[in-house]
Amino acid sequence: MSHINLKEISTRAPKELDKKEIKDKTDKILQELDELQNLLFAEAKHSVLVVIQGMDGSGKDGVIRNVLGNMNPQGVTVKSYKAPTPEELSHDFLWRIHQHAPSKGMIQIFNRSHYEDILITRVHKWCDDDTAKKRMIAINDFEQLLQEHNHTHILKFYLHISPEEQEERLRERMKDEAKMWKYNEKDLEEARLWDIYMQVYEDCFNNCNRPPWTIVPADQNWYKEFIIASQLHELLTGLDMKFPGMKK
């Protein structure tokens, strides 16, 4: 895998793409995803873990609502990871993660994830570089365990937003009544650490890449949703799933 340099990757859709055409394609994919998810649940041979990471304002909640929220909630669960509780801190850093790994037939979404323990912790020096390197090894082993021993297919998405778009979205939270509940006064403080975040994200991408990350241009929601829906659709169709038929 080549080294990922976020500055070299656009945060916007290719100019030649037609927005309406892509949105129409996304709608068709979402309809098919609903059926594929039912098939995944019924066959119960595979599971899917969708990891969504990104800076504040990159649209993690929107992706979950508009792409993954269209499927049957009986077979899809979401776990959002906040600061660890005292009980979680008394265990190893993956303890709280492993409890929410998907069972066969399920799609599990991580809104932020185990990667926070090598991202924000490094930015704020709560975790030194040596500890972070050891955690990366543990993360690789953990993901390999899920893939090899529970038929878990892992999709990892980084929502790649520009600092200009992020600032606009964060300030919108102060004005839009429907978004004020998301406002956190610390968000703008974190945004000032942009360059450090980009460094630790790139280190994460280049050391935890089995399976690889998808860097999703996230300045335009219609394109971001298309990319994620398309990848999930490609994964599920490639599993060659079949309904199990009547139980004997």
Provide the CATH number for the domain around residue 88. Answer: 3.40.50.300
Count CB atoms within 10 A of the CB of residue 214.
14
**CA 143: distance to chain centroid?**
14
pLDDT at 233: 98
- pLDDT for 180 equals 66
Q: Is residue 239 within 8 Å of residue 33, measured between CB atoms?
A: no
> Cβ distance 227 to 29 under 8 Å?
no
Distance CA 81, CA 212 (A): 21
Tell me whether residue 80 is in a domain.
Answer: yes
Supply the pLDDT for residue 78.
97
pLDDT at 184: 75
Residue 32 lies inside a defined structural domain of this protein: no
Structure tokens at 144: 């390999």
pLDDT above 60 for 1: no
Confidence (pLDDT) at 178: 64
Total domains, the chain: 1
Could you tell me if residue 36 is inside a domain? no
25 within a domain of the structure (yes/no) = no
Which residue range(s) make up the domain with 163?
Answer: 47-237
Q: Model confidence over 124-153: pLDDT tens digits?
A: 999 999 999 999 999 999 999 999 999 999
pLDDT value, residue 67:
96
Within a domain: residue 4? no
**Tens digits of per-residue pLDDT, 21-33?**
999 999 999 999 9
pLDDT in tens, 86-95: 999 999 999 9
Q: According to DSSP H, which parts of 16-128 are helical?
A: 19-43, 60-66, 86-89, 95-98, 120-123
What does the pLDDT read at residue 70?
Answer: 85
In a domain, 215, yes or no: yes
Q: What is the mean pLDDT of the chain?
A: 94
Whether 1 is covered by a domain: the verdict is no
pLDDT average, residue stretch 184-202? 90
For residues 162-188, give the mean pLDDT.
82
Q: Which CA distances in Å does 44 have to 38, 97, 194, 230?
A: 10, 21, 41, 22
Is residue 122 over pLDDT 90?
yes
pTM attached to this predicted model: 0.94
* pLDDT band at residue 247 under the 50/70/90 scheme: confident
Confidence of residue 248 (pLDDT cuts 50, 70, 90): low
Q: Is residue 95 part of a domain?
A: yes
Q: What percent of the chain has pLDDT over 70?
A: 97
Check residue 14 and give its pLDDT.
97
Place of tokens 């990159």: 58
